[in-house]
């Protein structure tokens, strides 16, 4: 899904109040972590993830791989924080501004 700058800014504003739900550590991106993040999209449309200091992989690359595997969209990567968005197909709770 392609987001406009207005939609991205809106989602960044919503993500500012979110707590990180998942942490990626030394083992980096394991299938278990990917699966649990994918399952989080069953109840949430916006997920914030923290990449811990002991993870040697680049947060930008991790975000891109996660977005591909979970079929979500990267909203932002700031430092070690990643925000992903995936709208609910049946009942979207976040209404994005029009493009």
Task: Give me the mean pLDDT over the 21-29 stretch.
Answer: 91
Return the minimum-mean-pLDDT range out of 6-10, 68-72, 83-87, 91-95: 91-95
| Domain that residue 51 falls in | 5-85
Quote the CA–CA distance of 74 and 51 in Å, as a whole number: 15
How crowded is residue 16: how many other Cβ atoms within 10 Å of its Cβ?
9
What confidence score (pLDDT) does residue 98 get?
A: 78
Q: What pLDDT, in 10s, does the model give residues 34-75?
A: 999 999 998 899 999 999 999 999 999 999 999 999 999 999
63 belongs to a structural domain? yes
Q: 97: number of CA atoms within 13 Å, CB side?
A: 12
What confidence score (pLDDT) does residue 99 get?
A: 63
What confidence score (pLDDT) does residue 6 get?
A: 94
Contact 84, 47 (CB under 8 A): yes
The domain that contains 46 carries what CATH number? 3.30.110.60
98 belongs to a structural domain? no
Q: Into how many domains does the chain fold? A: 1
Residue with tokens 């990267």: 74
């Amino acid at each position: 899904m392609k987001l406009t700058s207005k939609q991205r800014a809106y989602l960044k504003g919503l993500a500012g109040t979110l707590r990180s739900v998942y942490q990626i550590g030394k083992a980096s991106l394991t299938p278990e972590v990917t699966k649990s993040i994918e399952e989080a999209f069953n109840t949430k449309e916006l997920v914030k993830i923290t990449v811990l200091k002991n993870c040697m992989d680049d947060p930008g690359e991790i975000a891109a791989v996660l977005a591909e595997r979970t079929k979500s969209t990267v909203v932002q990567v700031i430092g070690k924080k990643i925000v992903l968005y995936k709208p609910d197909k049946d009942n979207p709770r976040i209404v994005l501004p029009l493009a």
